[in-house]
Amino acid sequence: MTYRPFAVTTSAAVLGVVVVACSTSPDDIVVAYRPPPGAEAPPFAPEPADAGGDAAPSGSDKILACVGTECQAPYDTCPTAFGGPGYKCAVNLLTDNANCGACGNVCPEFPLLSMRTRCVDGACKRECSDGAADCNGLVDDGCEVALLRDPANCGACGKACPAGVQCIDGSCGCPAGMTDCGSADCRNTSSDDDNCGACGHECPSTGDEPPPPPNMRYGCRDGECGRLLCMGSWADCNGDLADGCEVDLAADKDNCGACAKACASGQTCIASGMAPPACGCAPGETLCGTGSQAHCANLQTDPANCGVCDHPCGYINFLAPIGYENAPGSCKKGFCEYECNPGWGDCDGNTLNGCETNLQVNPANCGACGNRCDVAAGQPCIGGACLMVECDAGTVTK
C-alpha cells in the first residue's frame, strides 16, 4: 500500500522590504508577515505622483519593515511551568485558560457546583456544565439546577412540569407510548417483561409451560404475559408456529428485513451495525466482512476501509499511530493521506510523530516549515507571522 506524504495547508501574507531607520516607539508596533522562502511578497500600495512625476507622501512616513523584538499586548511569554508552549510571545492573555490576563492565572473549574470558567477578554468568565443552569443568579451555589431532571425547571429555568409529572431528559413526562414507572424510568408496558400491562408487573417464569417452538420464547405481548415471541431477528413468515420463527430477517436474501422482501439476483442480505437489514450495498460501495460482521463501505473515501476492506488509515506501515490531533488520517481515492491540521506542520519529515510543529508560535518555522524569524535578534513568531514593526521612512532599499 502506498502512503502519500503529509500535506501542510498553511499560508501567510507577506511583506518584503528593508529599511534602515526604525522608530522604537511602542505606539508604532504592529504585527506583519515575513515571507516564507520562495514566496512572492505583495507589493506596497503605489504612492501617488505629483505633476512632475515625483512620488508624493501618502500621509504616513512609516512602513512595516523593522524587526520587532518586544511582545505587544495581548501576547506575552509565559514559562512552560504555567502551561505556555515555551516560545517568546506565544501566549494570548485574552483567551488562554492557563494564563488568563496574566501568566499563571488559571481559570478554575468547579465540578461539584457543575460550573467552570473560561478566559474571555482576559478575564475568567463562569459558565455552567453537565446540563446544569444558574437559575437563581447566585455565585455561591454555582449552577444549582439540573435542567434534565428538575420538574420545576425542565429544559429551561422556570419551565415547570404539571403536578405529578417527572422531568425526563429535559422534557416533561415520557415519550408517547411509554409509561413512567417511577424515578423517571420510562417503559413500554405492552412489551416489557418486567412491567407487562402495568409498572412492576413482572412476567413469571414458572417452568410449567411446554418448550417453545424453535427460535421463540415466552414473554410480554400486548400487555399480557405468557405469549409466544420470536427471538432477535427471527420471524414467523409462514404463519405456522409448529416450526417456530423459521426465518432470520438479518441474513435471508429472500426475506431481508421483512417477510417476502427478496433481494435481487447476486445480492445478499446485510445487517450492518444498528441499521435495519438491507439488500446489497449502495452504488459505489463494497460489501466487506461476512455474517454478522458484514458491512458496506466506500473504498475510495472510508478511512476504515481505504482501498481494500478492513484497511484503516491512521497507522503508517501498520507499526505506530501517527499525528494524533494534529494529523488525522483520511482516505482519498483509495489512498491513505495525512494532512496537517491548520497551524501545524510536519517540519522534521518524520511521519511517525505526525505534525509536530506549531507554525503559529515556532520562530524557526513561522507560518510554514523553514520560514525562520530573526531568532538572533529575538524576533518572535505571533499567529504564524514574524513580528515586524513600523519604521521611519529613512532610506529604502529593494
Do the beta carbons of residue 374 and residue 44 sit within 8 Å?
A: no
DSSP 329-395: EEEETTEEEEBPPTTEE--S--GGG-S-EETTT-TTSSSSTT----TTTT--EETTEE-EEEEE---
* Confidence (pLDDT) at 324: 52
Give the model's pLDDT for residue 234.
Answer: 95
Residue 324, phi then psi, degrees to nearest 5: 50, -130
Torsion, CA 244, CA 248, CA 254, CA 257, rounded to 10: 120
pLDDT tens track, the chain, 398 positions: 333 433 333 333 333 333 333 433 333 333 333 444 443 333 333 333 344 444 444 445 567 678 999 998 899 999 887 766 789 999 999 999 999 999 999 999 999 999 999 999 999 999 998 899 999 999 889 999 999 999 999 999 999 999 988 899 899 999 989 999 887 789 999 999 999 999 999 998 766 778 999 999 999 999 999 999 999 999 999 999 889 999 999 889 899 999 999 988 877 788 766 678 888 887 788 888 776 677 788 999 998 899 999 888 764 444 444 435 577 778 889 988 777 888 999 898 877 777 889 999 999 999 999 999 999 999 999 999 999 988 765 444 44
Long-range residue pairs from 117-120, CB within 8 A, at least 24 positions apart, any chain: 119/94, 119/95, 120/94, 120/95
Whether the model clears a pTM of 0.75, i.e. scores above it, the answer is: no
User: Grid coordinates 417452538 are at which residue?
Assistant: 213
The residue to which cell 422482501 is assigned: 261
Dihedrals φ, ψ of 111, to 5°?
-60, -35
3-state SS string for 241-290? HHHCCCEECCCCCCCCCCCCCCCCCCCCEECCCCCCCEECCCCCCEEECC
Residue 23 burial (CB count, 10 A): 17
Alpha-carbon Rg for the chain in angstroms: 33
For residue 106, what pLDDT is reported? Answer: 94
Structural contact between residues 223 and 190, judged by C-beta atoms closer than 8 angstroms: yes
Rounded Cα distance, 186 and 173, in Å: 9
Task: Give the residue among 213, 241, 197, 196 at the shortest CA–CA distance from 205.
Answer: 196
- Cis geometry, peptide bond prior to residue 111 (ω within 30 degrees of 0): no
